[in-house]
Each structure stands twice: as structure tokens, then as C-alpha cells.
Chains A and B, each alone.
Chain A
Amino acid sequence: MIESDWQLALRREVLLVRRQMGSWINGVCFFVLIGFVYQLLLGSGLELSSQLSISLIWVLALMSIMLVAEHWIKPDITSGYYDSWLGQGRSLHVLMVVKMLIQWLVNGGILALIVPLLAFQLGLEVRLVPWLMLSIFLGSLACMCFCGFGAVITAGQSQSGVLLSIVVVPLNLPPLIFGIGLVIAQAEDFNHVPILAVLIAISLLAIALLPFAMSFGAKIVNE
């Protein structure tokens, strides 16, 4: 029986995540490590405002995603995997959707699970921690799509890291604003439902539209 595009992509991406643990452990370690660095530099007894620690954790999450985004795309392009994928008449868009969803569930899920550790390091109020986990989990899908897109369009170069960060950070503005906004709304007892809805909408739009741009970009880079 010939596997459909979805099945094959799913099997491949799950295998990749299991076999190349290094690539996502890298990002997760960065996330925790910088948290420790901040704790070391700030010392004990200093209280950060909740707004500061929320945005710090969010930016660290974004940076750790940016750090590993290169590993999602570049090996596939240099090894010619997309060529063989397209050569079998398969849809690159499907591969990108599956890739982003798997990375989100694994990488974004682990980032969200580690958030309590960082929140504890930075002295965030306990009642805000579940909300921060939720907002990072939901928002990281959009962040990963934008970072993946940035990784695709910079993949053709040898030193793509610097260009990637300049290209990707302005694009990540919407999930960042609404992700942080959700937790701050909780902290200050605003109505959080509309912000939550917008955050989910941004992530859904990103996973619906960005894979098209990614597969299109990958075809251009691959030529």
C-alpha cells in the first residue's frame, strides 16, 4: 500500500524528532539557561514586576524557537530531501503543515511545560503561571510558523542566523503582543477572553497560511 502524503510526512517528522533530539534540546536548554543567568545576575530578594518577567519569558521562548528554526529546514534542503519529495509528486505544503504541527506539539509543548521553572526563577505570581503556560503553548504555533518561514527564505545562505533574526522578529510581533497581553490581562483582572480569542485566531491563521508560503519559498530556494 502506498502511503498518502500525510501519513508519510507524519511518520518522517515523528522519526526526525525522535532521532534528532539534539536540535530541540538545544532550544530548550537555551530557554532554561538564560533563565538561570538572569537569576544569577539579578540576585535574590529583588522582585521583578509581573509584566517584566512575563515578557522576559515570552521573549526567551521566541528566541529559543528562532535558535532551532534553522535545523528544521536547512538539512532537508542541503540533503535534497525536498527534491525527492517533489519528485514523487507529493505535496510540499502537506510536509510543511505536518512539520510545523509536530514541532509545535513537541517543542512548544516542552517550552510550555518548562515555563513554571522559569516563572519560579523570576518570581512570577503562582496564579499567573498556568496562564503563561497556556499563552506560550498557543502562541508558539504562530511563532514557529513565522520562524519556519524565515528559516526557509534564508536557508540558501551559509550564515543565515543573523539574517533570520532580522527577518523573523518583526513578523512575530502579533503573537508576542497578544501572548503577553493575555497574561497581563489576567494579572490586572481585565477581560481576557477577547485576547485569548485573538491569540488562537493568529495561531490558526498562521498554520493555515504560512505553510503555503513556506513550501513556495522552499521550491524557490531549492531550484
Chain B
Amino acid sequence: MWHNFKRWFYQMGTPVYFFKKSRLWIIWSGVLGAILMLVGVIWGLGFAPADYQQGNSFRIIYIHVPAASLAMSAYVLLAIWGVIFLVWRIKMVDVLAEATIPAGAVLTLIALVTGSIWGIPTWGTAWAADARILSMAFLLFLYIGIYLLRSQVRPFSKAQRLASLLAMIGVINIPIIKYSVEWVSTLHQGATFSLSEKPKMPPSMYLPLIFCILGSYCLLFSWILKQAQRLALQREVGKQWVNEWLQQH
């Protein structure tokens, strides 16, 4: 069992195997994610009851909550890639990290924009000096900083390791974002879900949200693998397996 896992781990670490083996993962997790997301969004937008205080505007949580939680998860993922890359120097892990950065940045942006749109009818303002909003904005700049570091430092092998190190250190901001709604009195409401408590919404409202969250995780997984495939192909240009693949397509 352990032996098999180790073999699988090392095989996935080489671009050739990764490129071949990840195809099915991309398709199936993409299909599953799309179905879950579609069900969640249609259910949430069309059939879930309106909130007694916020009316229909609350429905943006079916996009906002998945985007925000994914943005933070993607950062933690990036930090984990960083640790693995610094310790084992696996080529493929850095490719995955490079694929994660833009995805995370865009998700952070989506969370900020949907939050602002929701804020206009609900708080009466699109942007407030609020701990949660601002710490999310800092997360965006953290992603941008890591991206800039990767693209500006030369040689590239140094940039990879320095960016991994920065991603690792930057993880201190994740608890700040997560608990900013509890530490400081803010406009932003508390966590929608928690593992230890029953949700404060009826099932007809939170079930679609769970569908959306699970679906978006699957879609992110599929997207990162797809981008990693593309980047692996780019980096390995000139190798034999790339030439063979190019001839077939």
C-alpha cells in the first residue's frame, strides 16, 4: 500500500506521467464540478426561499462564499506546494504552484467584487473599512507579490524557490482573514458554516450552498490540473515526449 503510494507519488512528480495520468482526473472532476455547480446555482438562485431580512440579494452567497473560501484554500494549497517544492524539489509541484497563483488571485477578486455588489443594497456601501474586506484585499496583493517575484527574479530556478518561501511565510495572513470577523467588530457577518455548529439557515438555503462549494472545489481542482498540463508542456518543449504528443495532435 505504502509502496504503491510512493510509486504513484514519484510518477506524478515527473511531467510525462503527470501529463498522461491527469487527463481522466481533469475530465471527471470537471464534469462532476460542473454538475454540482449547475445544480447548486439553479437551486440556489431559482428555488431557495428568499431571506427574511435581505430578500433576494442574499442569493449572491452562492457565488461569493465558494469564491472566498476557495481563494483562501488556494493560498493554503500554494503554501503546501511551496513546502513540498522546497523539501523535495519536485519539478511538477512548482508547475502546480504556478497554475494555482492566477486561479487564487482571480477567485480573491471575484470574492471582493461579489461582496461589493452585495454590499450596495445590504450595507448601503460597496466598500467599507472593514477587517474582512481589507484582509482579503491584502490576500490579493500577496498573490500579486508572489506572481511578480516569480516573473522578475532571474534565473528562474531561484525565483521558483524564493516564491515558494514567500508563499510559506505569507500563510500567516490566512488566520487573520479567517478570524477577522470574530476578533474585530466588523460589518461582515460571521462564518456561514462551521464544523462544530448547526447552520443558522434552513436546509433549503444551505444545501444549494454546499453543492456550490463542493462543485467549485472540483472545478478548481480540474482547472489547476489543466493549467499544470499546459505549463508542463511549455516547460518541457524540445523533450521527446512533447514532440511525440505534438505529432499526435
Chain A residues packing against B (C-beta within 8 Å): 146, 149, 153-154, 156-157, 163, 166-167, 169-171, 173-174, 177, 210, 213, 216-217, 220-221, 223
Question: From residue B144, how far is it (CB to closest CB) to chain A in Å?
Answer: 7
What are the residues of chain B within 8 A of A217 when measuring CB–CB? Answer: 162, 165
Check B168 against A174 for contact (C-beta < 8 Å).
no
A145 to B144, CA, bound (A): 21
Check A167 against B172 for contact (C-beta < 8 Å).
no
Return the contact of A163 from the options B86, B149, B165 (Cβ within 8 A).
B149
A89 to B148, CA, bound (A): 34
Is there a chain A Cβ closer than 8 Å to B133's Cβ?
no
What are the residues of chain B within 8 A of A210 when measuring CB–CB? Answer: 169
Check A171 against B173 for contact (C-beta < 8 Å).
yes
Check A153 against B144 for contact (C-beta < 8 Å).
no
A167 to B162, CA, bound (A): 12
Q: A173-B176, A174-B172, A221-B158 are in contact. Are A167 and B165 (CB under 8 A)?
A: no
* Beta-carbon nearest neighbor of A210 in chain B: B169
Check A213 against B168 for contact (C-beta < 8 Å).
yes
* Beta-carbon nearest neighbor of B161 in chain A: A220
Question: From residue A149, how far is it (CB to closest CB) to chain B in Å?
Answer: 6
Chain B residues packing against A (C-beta within 8 Å): 86, 131, 135, 138-139, 141-142, 144-145, 148-149, 152-154, 158, 161-162, 165-166, 168-170, 172-173, 176, 184
* Beta-carbon nearest neighbor of A221 in chain B: B158
Question: From residue B128, how far is it (CB to closest CB) to chain A in Å?
Answer: 16
Return the contact of A220 from the options B144, B158, B169, B173 (Cβ within 8 A).
B158
Check B148 against A163 for contact (C-beta < 8 Å).
yes
Check B170 against A171 for contact (C-beta < 8 Å).
yes
